[in-house]
Structure 1
Amino acid sequence: MRTSKSLNRNKNPNFAIVIDGETEFWYFQMLVRNERDNLNVRIKPELPSKKSLIDQFKLVKQLSEDYTKTFWIVDLDVVLKETREVKKGEKTRIQELEEYINILSKKYPETIVLIVNNPCLEFWLLLHFESTSKFFDTCASAEKQLKKHLKDYEKTEKYFTKQNNDIYLKLKPHLKNALNNAKKLGQFNIKESNSAISEMQLFFEAKEFGQLFK
Structure 2
Amino acid sequence: MRHRHQRIPLRDTVAIVGDGQTEAIYFADVRDTDRPKNLHIFPDFPGKIGSYRGVLDRALELSKDYTYVYALIDMDTIIQDRQEGEYYRRKMEVQNAGVKVLENNPCFEMWFLLHFIRTGRLFSNCEQVSTELSRRGRIENYSKSGKFLSKAKLYSNYKDRLMNNAMPNARTLEDREGQDELYPRAQTYLFFEWYFNK
TM-score, normalised to structure 2's length?
0.84
Superimposed CA distance per residue, residues 101-155 of structure 1 (whole angstroms, 9 cap, x where no aligned partner)? 22234x23xx311000000111110000101111111100011111112223222
How far apart are 1:56 and its partner, in Å? 2.7
Question: Which residue number corresponds to residue 6 of structure 2?
Answer: none
Question: Which residue number corresponds to residue 70 of structure 2?
Answer: 71
Given the superposition, is the C-alpha separation of residues 191 and 59 from structure 1 closer, same or farther in structure 2, using an over 3 Å criterion? farther
Superimposed CA distance per residue, residues 38-90 of structure 1 (whole angstroms, 9 cap, x where no aligned partner)? 4521110111133533333222222111111110000011212222xxxxxxx
Of residues 182, 200, 204, the one that matches 2:170 is 182
Question: Which residue number corresponds to residue 160 of structure 2?
Answer: 173
Distance in 2 between residues matched to 1:187 and 1:49, nearest whole Å = 33
Question: Which residue number corresponds to residue 139 of structure 2?
Answer: 150
Q: Matched residue pairs, number?
A: 186
The answer to whether the 8 A contact 1:40-1:209 is kept is no
Of residues 28, 43, 54, the one that matches 2:41 is 43
How far apart are 1:99 and its partner, in Å? 0.3
Question: Which residue number corresponds to residue 90 of structure 1?
Answer: none
Distance in 2 between residues matched to 1:130 and 1:95, nearest whole Å = 31
Given the superposition, is the C-alpha separation of residues 39 and 198 from structure 1 closer, same or farther in structure 2, using an over 3 Å criterion? farther
Seq. identity, %: 30
Superimposed CA distance per residue, residues 171-214 of structure 1 (whole angstroms, 9 cap, x where no aligned partner)? 212011100100111168698421111101111111x6436xxx
| Equivalent residue letter for 2:157 | K
RMSD: 2.3
Question: Which residue number corresponds to residue 194 of structure 1?
Answer: 182
Matches within 5 A, 1:28-177: 28-36=27-35, 38-51=36-49, 52-83=51-82, 93-105=83-95, 107-108=96-97, 111-148=98-135, 149-162=138-151, 165-176=152-163, 177=165
TM-score, normalised to structure 1's length?
0.78
Distance in 1 between residues matched to 2:40 and 2:103, nearest whole Å = 22
Given the superposition, is the C-alpha separation of residues 169 and 54 from structure 1 closer, same or farther in structure 2, using an over 3 Å criterion? closer
Distance in 2 between residues matched to 1:151 and 1:55, nearest whole Å = 31
Unaligned runs of 5+ in 1: 1-9, 84-92
Unaligned runs of 5+ in 2: 1-8
